[in-house]
Amino acid sequence: MIFVTVGTQLAFDRMVSAVDRWAAAQPGVNVFAQVGPARERPQHIPHADFLTPARANSLMRQAALIVAHAGMGTVLTALELRKPIVIMPRLASLGEHRNEHQMATARWLQGRPGVHVAWNEAGLLDLLDRRDTLPGGEVFSSVASGPLVDKLRAVVQDTLKGRR
């Protein structure tokens, strides 16, 4: 199953429409999309505007591939689950976001294990066509490492000592 998500804030009609057109030509492929407050409704894939966090997490666990905007919450969850994720950054120049920070995020993530960047609709369709060959990420934990926690603890303690 391919799980498509636009996140919880904005619609991303350009990405969802591209996946919907692709799915029309792939009748045997199971796709589900969370589309947000979309202006355009998918015609060929089941979808919902919003999902509970539990339902979204369940779909991500079931998915063989996740397709999403370049939002870090979805990327981190996909990496934690070791699922391949295709990200397509929203473009402020097309009115899809307030600024181009998703382009910067996509550039930063490009080439990392398990993250596949589609810079446009043609790239998205190409990655969907190659979905069975896209590797997932390496082991990733959403819990901070011991050395990082120890360093943060020391900084907090030093700060508190300075206030006494």
pLDDT tops 90 at residue 81? yes
pLDDT digits (tens, 9 = 90+) for 1-11: 999 999 877 88
Is 85:73 a contact under the CB 8 Å cutoff?
A: no
Q: How do residues 114-138 score in pLDDT, each as one tens digit?
A: 999 999 999 999 999 999 999 888 7
Measured between alpha carbons, how far is 123 from 116 in angstroms, rounded to an integer? 10
Q: Which residue segments constitute the domains of the chain, with CATH numbers given?
A: 2-163 (3.40.50.2000)
For the chain, the average pLDDT equals: 88
Q: Which residues contact 77 (CB under 8 A, 6 or more apart)?
A: 57, 60
pLDDT of residue 140: 61
Q: What is the percent of the chain where pLDDT is above 70?
A: 89
157 token code pair: 């303690």
In angstroms, rounded to a whole number, what is the distance separating the alpha carbons of residues 99 and 94? 10
Condensed to tens digits (0 to 9), the pLDDT of residues 134-163 reads 988 876 655 666 776 777 778 788 788 876
What tens digit of pLDDT does each residue of 5-42 get? Answer: 998 778 889 999 999 999 999 989 999 999 998 888 99
**Contact in structure between 114 and 85 (CB atoms under 8 Å):** yes
